[in-house]
Amino acid sequence: TKNLYSVLCVFVPALSADGKYYHIMSTCQFIEKASQYDVQYKIQYHFNGRLLALYNSSTEKVLGFTEYGKRLASNLNKDVHYLQRRRTDLNVHFTNTGLVPAVPPVASLRRDRPEVAGGPVVLICSAYDFYPRQIKVSWLRDGVVVPEMEVMEKLVSVSWRYQIHSYLKEPAGEGLNIQCMVKHQSLPEPMLLRLDRSDLDSGAVQSAVGVSILSLGALVLLGGGIFYWRRASGRLRRRDSFPAGGAAAQLHIQDH
């Protein structure tokens, strides 16, 4: 079953001196399905009864429907302060009211094997099934926050819950001094994740095994090449040892 609760939040009419009618209407829609919750916050911009543009919290973008509305949407989408105010509206007036409960993330930290033996490893910090979408994932190296330019993030939405994956490259053998910190309004304090030494050791063992296998393969190929060369050299020496006409004489005897 799916329950919808729509609430008219703000209605701001305005009448200009020349009789033009302009108004802004904000609505929020609470959605409940199978114990999962979502809220959509929308702002509609109307002029003379016609919808010009629409802000939707699900996309955090303004969509224009007329020529003027498209210009308005383009300007608002570039306005960082406008977008931040809309996020604040959603959190203060709707998400934090208790109508939609916050869901804490389930977080994990793991390492990915390097693409090349001895190359840098990729650390992956993931947070799953949290709500609302606002979350902060940071990396700490020796207790100091890693600059954002070194970090890659990917936020996705699944069944009205969210998940985020943050990636950090580190030199091989490093990682014990790295922590992942997750901040979310559902958590009483930030969540800190650290790699176990067993994770790093297993990665080092895998890299060592890979190098050993490559070395063993090279030795086998080298040994095979030497063996083939020696056999070929032996055949040539035996041919050279026949006296002149010896091979022809042997063939003549076999024919009779």
Q: What is the mean pLDDT of each run of 10 residues along the chain (256 residues)?
A: 49 61 80 64 89 92 95 96 89 65 88 75 90 88 84 72 88 76 92 75 44 49 58 55 46 40
pLDDT value, residue 205 = 41
Residues constituting the chain:
256
Q: Does the residue 238 lie in any domain?
A: no
pTM comes to: 0.50
pLDDT value, residue 192 = 94
CA 45, CA 60: separation in Å to the nearest integer?
Answer: 15
Cβ neighbors of 120 (< 8 A, separation 6 or more) are 114, 169, 170, 171, 172
Based on the fold, state whether residues 82 and 114 are members of the same structural domain. no
The strand pairing partners of 170, in sequence order, are 121
Q: Does the residue 194 lie in any domain?
A: yes
pLDDT value, residue 248 = 40
Sign of dihedral through CA atoms 84, 89, 94, 96? positive
Which ranges in 191-241 belong to alpha helices (H)?
197-241
CA 91, CA 134: separation in Å to the nearest integer?
Answer: 9
Based on the fold, state whether residues 85 and 133 are members of the same structural domain. no
Residue located via tokens 């580190």: 170
Please give the residue range of the domain that contains residue 117.
Answer: 106-198
Cα-based angle 188, 191, 194 (whole degrees, multiple of 5): 160
Among residues 182, 198, 214, which one ends one of the domains?
198
The strand pairing partners of 38, in sequence order, are 31
Among residues 64, 97, 130, which one ends one of the domains?
97
Among residues 50, 78, 97, which one ends one of the domains?
97
Residue located via tokens 């509206």: 89
DSSP label at residue 77: H
pLDDT value, residue 251 = 35
Cα-based angle 223, 212, 205 (whole degrees, multiple of 5): 170
